[in-house]
Chains A and B, each alone.
Chain A
Amino acid sequence: MLNIESNWLNMRLLDDLSMQNTLIHRIDPRIKILISLAFVIIVTSFSKYEITGLLPLFFYPITLMSIGNIPSTLLLKRLLIISPFILFVGVFNPIFDRTPLLDVGFISISGGWISFISITVKLTLTAAAALLLVATTGINPICAAMHRLGCPKPLVVQLSFMYRYLHVLLEEFIKTVTAYQLRSPNGKGVQYRAWGSLLGQLLLRTYARAKTIYDAMLCRGFDGRITLLYTKNLQNHDRIYLAYWLFFFILCRAVNIPKLMGKLLLGGL
């Protein structure tokens, strides 16, 4: 399957998931955006050697996946795909940082390995936050929420339009590239001599489409301004959701919960 095709199907899947109607899906999109950002800030604020303190934060993505009915395979697959570059950078940590930091029995683990594991944990958490945001909210509510949160309108309109036509264009591209591959020598990428004309033709068709859309907009009275319609206001359950997670995140940051639990447990024994 073409790379572009599997990416497109992936987007459609997230799109499908975002249209469910669970408790999480019903929370106001603005709140979900703020919580996601808060989560990411908290995660990245941990020191580079922190591992245990980060772990309770897994409750956030796990809760979202369970209540929001998002399959965990989605996250795992994505992680597999995006991790190479980051881990490639991260793997230099054990190379450059050899200071022994941790003694587990008779094994001494260097700071570099600790920070490498920390990076991996942080990567999992932050990637989960991003994917779960769109999986539980949907791109269009996110756009509307962004505008209400102060994002300039041209940017929001741009995002909205782009996303709307993304699927259309992806389908068109898939057809064109497939047709190309079926008649090309090695069937993998686009050969040099076709670069200009393949992409150029697709670009011209894109322009033609844009013109038609513009005509359609004019026919319905478009005068340069787009009006976005909003309906919802914040409800109590939105506020509770916000307070709950913010409290939890701050708690995790202030107190190393696993260490605490471990101490209590071992102290009690």
Chain B
Amino acid sequence: MHMADALISPVVGGAMWAATAGLASFASKKVQTNIDSHKVPLMGVLGAFVFAAQMINFTIPGTGSSGHLGGGILLAILLGPHAAFLTIASILAVQALFFADGGLLALGCNIFNMGFLPCYIAYPFIFKPLTDQKPSRRRIIIGSVAAAVAGLQLGAFGVVMQTLFSGISELPFLSFLLLMQPIHLAIGIVEGIITAVVISFIYQTAPEILTKTALNKPLDNIPIKPVLVAFFIAALVIGSTLSWFASSNPDGLEWSITETSGQEALQATTEIHGFFADLQEKLAFLPDYNFKSSSAVEAPAAAIEESKESAWPAVDRGTSTAGIVGSLITLLLAYLSGKALQYAGKS
């Protein structure tokens, strides 16, 4: 479920990083003020535990395949949501750096999908209510499976949304959704069972560990709502506003303007678009979308149809040969420079 950089846009990546950074600050403050000092080494060691445990194959009875431990719910049970969030963040960071499992820009997305959602949503709203009254073995199992499934479903949905907003993949929303959700349902069930079984084992053999954890303690007052609201607002603002102006199909705006107010307004909006086109050229950091050509000003209705056709003239057919030639030269130069630097280094 790790998102790769190749499939996200800087806007989505940046927004998720902003959300994750805020959450990390919040969780860090909570950990600093609330946590007993004995948890400092424990967080580190449990992080290593989950990291290592993720690499073990758990054979699923009946099928030939195997499942793995995600660890989000397990960590939330053992450490409480704040410490667990930081621990998962660190695991994902190491995976991104050492295994390129999840990109550097996408790390914000991944920490959100696999950290925030299990620790701050699935755990407090599903696991805790189910097991708080009396943490019996049955309730632990049900709670773990439900929370794991919920966490993973939400995470998978997060992946779909982030991919959709990035606009790199052509997978239609519904198809992607129908692909991701069922698979992650299965993964969630397996993870929930593994978690449940481990927690039950601990419950039987060394229950004192669990009494010290969040299993029996009341939950901190997590201001989930402000975080969620802030995040959604940020995502909406960034996502819609910027992509609106940058989109090569601004005909939504223009169409409604022509419908309601006529030519002059259309002129004005074309100027706005022209301004942004210039700005984009200069900054050259927003995705390289094309802007409507001036022909749209003369014949609004027809232009809208035409613009839909030529919506993606981002690759200019005319200069394609030049591009290929140049590319070959570039690659050759890159390779040679690499060799030269190696030689220089050795002598």
Whether A243 sits at the interface, judged by CB under 8 Å, is: no
B225-233, B271-279, B282-290, B296-304: which lies at the interface = B282-290
Flag whether A27 is at the interface (Cβ < 8 A): no
Q: Is the CB of B312 within 8 A of A162?
A: no
Task: Please indicate the chain A residues that have their CB under 8 angstroms from the CB of B99 in the complex.
Answer: 7, 10, 78, 81-82
Chain A interface residue bracket vs B: 35 or more
Known: A58-B334, A190-B58. A119 touches B7 (CB 8 A): yes
Query: CA–CA, A222 to B101, complex, Å?
Result: 35
Complex Cα distance, B323 from A95, in Å, reads: 25
Chain B residue with Cβ nearest A171: B52
Of chain B, the residue at the smallest CB distance from A164 is: B44
> Which one of B56, B86, B99 has the highest number of Cβ atoms from chain A below 10 Å of its Cβ?
B56
Q: Which residues of B contact A65 (CB under 8 A)?
A: 338
The answer to whether B38 touches A154 (Cβ under 8 A) is: no
Residue of A nearest to B38 (CB): A214
Across the interface, B56 reaches (CB within 8 A) one of A4, A86, A95, namely A4
User: Which among B87, B96, B289 is the interface contact of A162 at CB below 8 angstroms?
Assistant: B87
Q: Is there a chain A Cβ closer than 8 Å to B49's Cβ? A: yes
**Given the complex of chains A and B, what is the CA–CA distance between A206 and B47 in angstroms?**
10
Q: B42 touching A115 by the CB < 8 A rule?
A: no
CB-CB nearest in chain B for A128: B100
- B49 and A206 form a contact (CB under 8 A): yes
Check if B327 sits within 8 Å of A102, measured CB to CB: no
Flag the segment in B24-32, B127-135, B150-158, B254-262 that touches A: B24-32
B100 and A253 contact, CB distance less than 8 A = no
Stretch at the interface among B117-125, B165-173, B236-244: B165-173
> Is A199 positioned at the interface, with any CB of B under 8 Å from its CB?
yes
Residue interface mask B18-60, A partner, CB < 8 A = 1 = 0000001101110110000110111111111101110111111
B94, B175, B327, most chain A CB atoms within 10 A:
B327
**B213: min CB distance to chain A, Å:** 11
Q: Judge whether B347 is part of the interface by a CB distance below 8 angstroms.
A: no
- Is A155 located at the chain interface by the 8 A CB criterion? yes
At the interface, yes or no: B321 with Cβ under 8 Å from chain A?
yes
A:214-253 near B, CB below 8 Å: 214, 217, 222-224, 226, 250, 253
Interchain CB contact under 8 A, A44 and B98:
no
Judging by beta carbons under 8 Å apart, are B46 and A48 in contact? Answer: no
Complex formed: what's the CA distance from A21 to B105 in Å?
28
0/1 per residue, A137-166, Cβ < 8 Å to B?
A: 001001000000001111101111111111
Nearest residue (CB) in A for B340 is A66
- Whether A47 pairs with B323 at a CB distance below 8 angstroms is no
B106 CB → nearest A CB, Å = 8
> Which residues on B are within 8 Å of A, measured CB to CB?
2, 4-10, 13-14, 24-25, 27-29, 31-32, 37-38, 40-49, 51-53, 55-61, 66, 69, 86-87, 89-91, 93-94, 96-101, 103-105, 163, 167-172, 175-176, 193-194, 197-198, 200-202, 205-206, 209, 284-289, 312, 314-315, 317, 319-327, 329-331, 334-335, 337-342, 345
Q: Which 4 A-B pairs have the closest CB atoms?
A: A161-B44, A258-B326, A262-B326, A200-B201
Interface residues of A (CB under 8 A from B): 3-4, 7, 10-11, 14, 22, 36-37, 40-52, 55-56, 58-59, 62-63, 65-67, 69, 78-79, 81-82, 85-86, 89-90, 92-93, 95-97, 99, 101-104, 111-112, 114-115, 119-120, 122-123, 126-127, 129-131, 133-134, 139, 142, 151-155, 157-166, 168-170, 173, 177, 186, 188-192, 195-197, 199-200, 202-204, 206-207, 209-211, 213-214, 217, 222-224, 226, 250, 253-254, 256-263, 265-266
